[in-house]
A and B are shown apart, each in its own frame.
Chain A
């Protein structure tokens, strides 16, 4: 039985679309929700919110640092601002504004970062942020969520609104399979989701790599390798109990993320296991290099973050 059914049969939606749609739904319930953009409403998909709530959509122009500070000021007056731009600018350009104007005073600002990772595609390395989770994770009190599909992304936006304090939400440009559309699906910040139990090794995956990891697990199953697949949608705070529990059972861990192997999921899992349950771990991800231009699918293949690449790397490292 495949982990998520036949992946080719599943509908595909980019999580940036989910972000825009979720904001519209939440906006209907909460008057204090505002959406800020930096001239990218069409790309971040917050244009849908702008159409429904033009008076609550604030375009700050191409000035991300200022947008971040404005959001901080708005939040001190009871607003819940979602600032929206590419991950490169949200976490990269505005790092210090996020750190000092939002993180240090622990303000109730949500950062909706779209176009994360190499799946940005053709725009290339300048716009492919593979370091955002590392940067955001290092800020005290920041929650970092990297949803795997449409269902999870929408749930994450709602959970972020309900959470008092800063939240970094990571979304992608590429349409990805909807793998969480099941009646018992539940999203809780900081709780990992076991998609398949297994005894030989654990794959901790995050973001769009979760569906790819599920397919890789099916391929390994055919080789007689019983894989546990765990979706870590919240990279911070990490579900340490689940990580330790699974690692102590399978005694072999792989992490998969569309992010640098420095500072993201692989680092977070390594840190916990190093301290609490020393386990051999292999970090699959962007291997301390910049991305490049190309169609997203081809890049995921080239960087060995599609199911085939994950399968190959696990086999080679067993």
Chain B
């Protein structure tokens, strides 16, 4: 996909996020919207996957360690053809397969159940290790939150990945700078994030995580990096492209009401229209 197509796809994915969370009357739009370009690039450009064969043995794997931003993952999977986009409206509804947090047993394309923060990275490390043991060439991508990396298990997993030189592993930190209780540097600062991963023997790349050119460059650089895992610290805007959600802690885990929904969808329509000019 070229950049414009990726940008247009991101708009559709954002619409799916807002539709799902609005329908659920609950969920986490802020961190889903901040990571939308990351999801889009991974599923429409970077990863070797087949929506018709979600369990393809040599597929690239993705683990959403910050599992609460499931609306972003689900909308991406739906737009990529893993399941119908209309099903996003069943998000978090009783009986729906689209659980509040990723459920690998029931959702096509979800490689690992997650949601309890800090655990996804370890599972991704296990997948990368299995690839090394079996001499497979698949790659493993894991998306962590910047607040999530306050969890100690993240650093246990990072230590192991660095120690084992898992160069088939890419950790992306969605650095939108906000967690539930406020800015991450006010709650319990994990900064400097890049230097921490460097100290754990990662190759580290800092980028604007909402810019497809920078994402493209970073993932190519990660692919070319041998002998160590890569951490991409993606500086992003929480709530991106929905005017009243941007950079707002309030929209970490809240659904828009009907009126707010109209504003949000109109905001996204404008972004989409601008891309078509």
Contact = CB atoms under 8 A, between A and B. Distances in A.
14 contacts: A63-B159, A65-B152, A69-B123, A69-B125, A69-B126, A70-B125, A70-B126, A72-B122, A73-B123, A73-B125, A73-B126, A74-B130, A76-B104, A105-B112
A294 to B, nearest CB: 33
Interface of B: 61, 63, 103-105, 111-113, 115-116, 118-131, 133-134, 152-153, 156-157, 159-160, 163
A71 B126 contact: yes
Contacts of B133: 34, 55-56, 79
A73 B127 contact: yes
Closest 3 CB pairs of A and B: A73-B126, A69-B122, A77-B130
A60 B129 CA distance: 12
Given A61-B160, A72-B112, A66 B125 contact: yes
Given A70-B129, A72-B122, A74-B127, A63 B156 contact: yes
Given A65-B153, A73-B129, A74-B130, A100 B113 contact: yes
Contacts of A260: none
B153 A69 contact: yes
B105 to A, nearest CB: 6
A184 B134 CA distance: 40
Q: In the complex, which of the residues A61, A77, A105 has the most CB atoms of chain B within 10 Å of its own CB atom?
A: A77
Nearest to B122: A69
Contacts of A79: 130, 133
A14 B61 CA distance: 41
Nearest to A99: B116
A58 B160 CA distance: 10
A68 B122 contact: yes
Given A60-B160, A72-B122, A76-B111, A66 B127 contact: no
Given A74-B127, A77-B130, A106-B105, A97 B112 contact: no
A76 B129 CA distance: 11
A154 to B, nearest CB: 26
A78 interface: yes
B127 A77 contact: yes
Given A70-B125, A104-B113, A77 B157 contact: no
B134 A77 contact: yes
Contact of B153 (A34, A66, A77, A78): A66
A81 B127 CA distance: 12
A96 interface: yes
B96 to A, nearest CB: 17
A101 interface: yes
Contacts of B121: 69
Interface in A15-67: 34, 55-56, 58, 60-61, 63, 65-66
Contacts of A73: 63, 112, 122-130
A101 B119 contact: yes
Q: In the complex, which of the residues B63, B113, B118, B124 has the most CB atoms of chain A within 10 Å of its own CB atom?
A: B113
